[in-house]
Structure 1
């Protein structure tokens, strides 16, 4: 049994290639090394690659939950790094957009995690497709990964805009990845902040931290191991651990967004209200 209410956190981005999944994996590792019970959900359902980054080959994934009535405990996969993953399938077109029934199946399955996890990290796909929006609505906190590339900023703004204008989401956290130094990270963050302040009223955009460009990150991807595990003292690993410490200090409100069941059911209720 966990001693605290679970925090459901998405790691998301407007653009692919910004290191979102790598951040998800290494945050999961860092939080688990801090003694937390962590589950990482691979929610990039059509192009899943959490297992690839970890060099793992789970026999079962969410496809089996939706199509073979398999229970969650048979799909959850223990990694060698202290956390568990809920793998998704790659290259299965039926998984690209979940229908209402599949969302209900996932809701019911997630209930089993409520009393046993401290963190459910949801690694979303990139962009603004239905699954990305769905999972970003079904979490308490949204961690937006951006880089100094102009397209990363414009696509991140597009994701924020859709979630704000169409769904009323106003609070986002930001992690700036692959930057030269703190000043560059702050400049990138301020560019996004100014765009949101100018065009979107009421947006809260908090800087969680930044991860410097580090060649050991690429080396770890090639080796299919978390860089925080393989190179614990490298600058990127230190930065991710600092971000994990910040996340670990976030307060979870009881009886509002405080548990997994409430979250997913609230989301589906909103969908039915709109329909």
Structure 2
């Protein structure tokens, strides 16, 4: 990572089922293995599953922050893979749409992490609901996950369109998951790029890479552990490790009034 500030980036998608959370978990694992301080925020607040993929059962989560007065340090949960998670709840309708007050509360809580974290990974929900847009507005970089499916492409375009037209966000990274080969991955990126170039003037898309289909991924999900937990992992692990190396070369700087914040207050009022 270049710069003296933490890097905050989202892993997001227009469609569910593209492997977004699995990518988040394994990127966290890979970055932590590089000696970085990493926190993974499960921002799919009503349908959280980071803890499920890791086979863990935290006793507290963001629900307790908003509704029971818990502090952030009470919620931060250590994993055996060198990174921490901020777990969310599952099946809690109260968490499906944060109020402005709750967003401010999260802002204040997250500020305490600023000097302790190199990377904050925000695993958003899928789609274009209020929470997804909020977290994607708050981060510095957005990684949009695609799979080789038409619905994944159209839903990714819908997310980018809303972010561009409603909030002025123009820069996105694209990561193609479960690709059978490099050619297919490049074709998916090219199709998304062409649609944005034609209909959304000013949008910039960078291909971050692709993650190949790999039977080890399914085995890891069943065993509830990251597929990158084994340094001699398969092709998917190698691809994620390459993405992690690329992320560590991104420029990081304070770009809002000289102060970096995980979640900037002024963003609350752009929605």
Q: TM-score with structure 2 length normalisation? A: 0.96
Deviations 1:159-218 (A, max 9, x none): 000000000000000100001111111111001000000100001100011000001100
Counterpart mapping for 1:118-267 below 5 A: 118-230=118-230, 232-256=232-256, 260-261=260-261, 263-267=263-267
Q: Tell me: CA distance 1:262–1:28, structure 2 relative to 1, closer, same or farther (3 Å).
A: closer
Unaligned residue ranges in structure 2 (runs of 5+):
none
CA contact (8 A) 2:107 2:262 kept: no
| Structure richer in helix, relative to its length | 1
How far apart are residue 86 of structure 1 and its match?
Answer: 0.2
Over 4 Å off, 4+ runs: 257-260
CA contact (8 A) 1:178 1:211 kept: yes
How far apart are residue 230 of structure 1 and its match?
Answer: 3.7
DSSP 3-state at the match of 1:39: strand
Q: Tell me: CA distance 1:70–1:211, structure 2 relative to 1, closer, same or farther (3 Å).
A: same
What is the RMSD of the two structures over their aligned residues, measured on CA atoms? 1.4
How far apart are residue 267 of structure 1 and its match?
Answer: 1.1
Distance 2:260 2:64 in 1: 21
CA contact (8 A) 1:139 1:263 kept: yes
CA contact (8 A) 1:7 1:259 kept: no
Aligned residues: 269
The aligned counterpart of 1:110 is 110
How far apart are residue 265 of structure 1 and its match?
Answer: 1.7
Unaligned residue ranges in structure 1 (runs of 5+):
none
CA contact (8 A) 2:4 2:253 kept: no
Q: Tell me: CA distance 1:219–1:251, structure 2 relative to 1, closer, same or farther (3 Å).
A: same
CA contact (8 A) 2:148 2:179 kept: yes
